[in-house]
């Protein structure tokens, strides 16, 4: 607008303060978002990331197609290291990566990267990128006139090395990939679904189209692994052969992949298909009431199953419902509420369900104590198949932070809890073993290794390498309590 940079626009915005109130409002309004949204820096992009890029590295000559799936570890100063799996016109190899990146206030940036392929000379690349989605992702393109390469960069699925694992992939995923033309082979695509069991086995159904012989269907089984840094492998067993991929699990429960079989150039993404959810704390009786609210924002009626479990993973009978599971039917644009009144002695556990697309909701807790007003809190649903989550805690003065942790998977999980203070310094670490389908609830500071939380506030990160972990935080202050939203990876 007007040919001004963001910095000049913000300066101009400050200078019009002497105008009339109405004129100032009308002129400032379209500039406000630009001025207040520009807050990126090198620190915004520090951490572990995975990228998937493709294009032609020699645009002015052979136009040889290339794809790269790689890992970048970026520090606060912008220095980066990493490695990549490369397919150069079907020749599969690996490269080490060194370089630097610079992020400026408007969330744009540049990178100078040296790729050193195994057994080949190093090549220097210059890339421009734009951070998006709260700096969880970056859109990237090569800025070298000899190269046309584009792609995306994503944060790793877990925060910190050693916090991913095979259990991070569980449930139904959509699969979409593309293969450019190689020699006599036509361009081709594959699309379909993969079901990961959370323990290293999978089933798949894919449709293959090469543009000449029509679409064919491929079904079968396979295996997969995910390492602590969120990289991994997938193998699909075909009738007479296998397909092999290197993968990267990234934030948002998505997966990047590239085929590693010789003579292939095939890459794409997998995206979670369904949203298995959990309300990590469900309590009734003994002074407690719980409810679940659901909203169908779509134009069609929906149905899904809602199930209740005790802390030990067995079915939890809800007397008011007369059962431990039921089908929820919601009309188009309708709502539903499921209530567990405060009757009999205390029962607690958790609720699981898979929300259809377009359905949202939340939980509500109410505590009744004689002689004082009832207290209520809204509790958000959590992803049942998450391998990592974080929440802010406050244990100053009379506050106590408690958590409910659920492993809704079929594999045992060891939950690692890393607690830091306001300055980011370590307060303590703890581990909690949760067998398959089990749950526990406890004040955080009562766990061995976390007593140092008392009198402080900060951040707690929960992670597993097998199984899953869904977390709900509750902060208590004498007679009052409230929920703490958790951020899931």
429 burial (CB, 10 Å; 0-12 / 13-18 / 19+) is middle
C-alpha dist (Å) from residue 304 to 29, 44, 260, 479 = 45, 39, 39, 36
Q: Does residue 489 sit in helix, strand or coil?
A: coil
319 and 344 Cβ atoms separated by less than 8 Å: yes
Predicted local distance difference test score (pLDDT) of residue 184: 61
Same domain, 149 and 240: no
Q: What pLDDT does 9 receive?
A: 40
In terms of residues, how long is the chain?
489
Q: What is the average pLDDT score of the chain?
A: 87
Q: Is residue 284 part of a domain?
A: yes
- The reply to whether 466 falls in a domain is yes
Residue-wise pLDDT for 16-69, tens only, equals 444 444 444 444 444 444 444 558 898 888 889 999 999 886 655 566 788 999
At which of 272, 294, 309 does a domain end? 272
CATH number at residue 56: 2.40.128.20
Q: Are residues 192 and 259 in the same domain?
A: yes
How buried is 325 (Cβ within 10 angstroms: 0-12 exposed, 13-18 middle, 19+ buried)? Answer: middle
31 contacts: CB under 8 Å, gap ≥ 6:
9, 10, 12, 13
pLDDT under 50: residue ranges of the chain: 1-36
Are residue 234 and residue 180 in the same domain, yes or no?
Answer: yes
Indicate whether 380 and 401 sit together in one domain: no
Same domain for 179 and 146: no
Q: Are 129 and 428 in contact (CB under 8 A)?
A: no
Residue 160 forms part of a structural domain: no
Residues 28, 53: one domain? Answer: no
Q: Is the domain of 309 the same as that of 324?
A: yes
CA atoms of 427 and 87, how far apart (whole Å) = 44
For residues 263 and 81, give the distance between their C-alpha atoms in angstroms, rounded to a whole number: 28
Instruction: Report yes or no on 1 lying in a domain.
Output: no
Do 56 and 150 fall into the same domain? yes
CATH code of the domain containing 356: 2.60.290.11
**Which of 227, 243, 272 represents a domain boundary (last residue)?**
272
Residue 161 lies in a domain: no
Q: Which of 384, 407, 426 is the last residue of a domain?
A: 384
Do residues 193 and 258 share a domain? yes
Q: CA gyration radius for the chain?
A: 26
Both 46 and 32 in a single domain? no
How many domains is the chain partitioned into structurally? 5
Q: Is residue 219 part of a domain?
A: yes
pLDDT for 1 equals 31
Gap between the Cα atoms of 130 and 110, Å rounded:
9
Q: What gap in Å lies between CA 74 and CA 320, rounded to an integer?
A: 54
Verify that 117 and 209 share a domain, yes or no.
Answer: no
Q: Is residue 475 part of a domain?
A: yes
What's the pLDDT at 181?
67
| DSSP H or E run through 24 | helix 21-37
How far CA 407 is from CA of 267, 292, 349, 358, 401, in Å, comes to: 32, 20, 12, 25, 20
The structure's pTM equals 0.75
**Dist CA 165 CA 150 (whole Å):** 29
Based on the domain organization, do 49 and 151 belong to the same domain? yes
- Residue 320: domain span: 275-384
Q: Using alpha carbons, select from 358, 417, 413, 406 the residue that is nearest to residue 379.
A: 406
- Show the CA angle centred on residue 157, arms to residues 153 and 160, nearest 5°: 105
In angstroms, what CA-CA distances link 197 with 172, 221, 273, 456?
9, 11, 14, 40
CA distances from 473 to 86, 309, 400, 418 (A): 43, 19, 10, 15
pLDDT at res. 18: 46
Report pLDDT for 428. Answer: 96
List of residues 6+ apart from 259 with CB closer than 8 A: 87, 177, 179, 243, 244, 245, 265, 266, 267
Tell me if 370 is assigned to some domain: yes
């Amino acid at each position: 607008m007007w040919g001004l940079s963001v910095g000049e626009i913000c300066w101009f915005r400050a200078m019009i303060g002497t105008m009339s109130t109405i004129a100032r409002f009308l002129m400032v309004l379209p500039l406000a978002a630009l001025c207040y949204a520009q807050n990126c820096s090198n620190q915004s992009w520090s951490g572990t990331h995975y990228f998937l890029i493709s294009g032609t590295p020699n645009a002015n000559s052979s136009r040889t197609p290339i794809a790269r799936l790689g890992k970048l570890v970026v520090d606060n100063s912008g220095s980066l290291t990493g490695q990549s799996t490369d397919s150069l016109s079907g020749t599969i190899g690996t490269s080490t990566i060194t370089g630097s990146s610079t992020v400026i206030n408007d969330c744009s940036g540049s990178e100078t990267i040296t790729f050193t392929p195994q057994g080949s000379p190093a090549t220097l690349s210059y890339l421009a990128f734009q951070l998006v989605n709260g700096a969880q992702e970056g859109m990237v393109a090569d800025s070298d006139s000899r190269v046309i390469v584009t792609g995306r960069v994503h944060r790793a699925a877990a925060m910190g090395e050693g916090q991913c694992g095979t259990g991070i992939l569980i449930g139904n995923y959509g699969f979409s990939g593309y293969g450019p033309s190689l020699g006599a082979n036509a361009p081709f695509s594959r699309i379909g679904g993969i079901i990961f069991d959370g323990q290293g086995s999978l089933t798949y159904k894919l449709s293959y189209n090469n543009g000449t012989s029509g679409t064919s269907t491929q079904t079968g089984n396979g295996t997969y692994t995910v390492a602590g840094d969120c990289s991994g492998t997938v193998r699909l067993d075909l009738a007479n052969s296998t397909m092999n991929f290197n993968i990267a699990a990234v934030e948002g429960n998505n997966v990047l992949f590239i085929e590693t079989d010789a003579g292939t150039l095939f890459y794409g993404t997998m995206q979670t298909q369904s949203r298995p959810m959990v309300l990590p704390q469900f309590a009734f009786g003994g002074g407690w009431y719980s409810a679940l609210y659901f909203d169908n924002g779509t134009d069609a009626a929906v149905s899904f199953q809602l199930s209740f479990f005790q802390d030990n993973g067995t079915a939890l009978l809800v007397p008011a419902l007369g059962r431990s599971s039921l089908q929820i039917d919601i009309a188009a644009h309708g709502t539903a509420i499921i209530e567990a009144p405060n009757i009999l002695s205390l029962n607690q556990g958790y609720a699981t369900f898979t929300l259809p697309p377009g359905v949202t909701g939340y939980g509500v807790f109410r505590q009744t104590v004689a002689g004082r007003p009832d207290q209520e809190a809204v509790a958000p649903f959590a992803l049942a198949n998450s391998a990592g989550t974080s929440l802010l805690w406050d244990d100053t003065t009379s506050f106590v932070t408690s958590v409910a942790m659920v492993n809704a998977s079929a594999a045992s999980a060891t939950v690692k809890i890393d607690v830091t203070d306001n300055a980011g310094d370590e307060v303590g670490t703890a581990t909690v073993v949760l067998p398959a389908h089990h749950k526990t609830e406890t004040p955080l500071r009562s766990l061995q290794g976390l007593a140092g939380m008392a009198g402080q506030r900060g951040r707690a990160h929960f992670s597993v390498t097998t199984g899953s972990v869904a977390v709900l935080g509750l902060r208590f202050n004498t007679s009052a309590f409230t929920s703490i939203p958790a951020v899931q990876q």
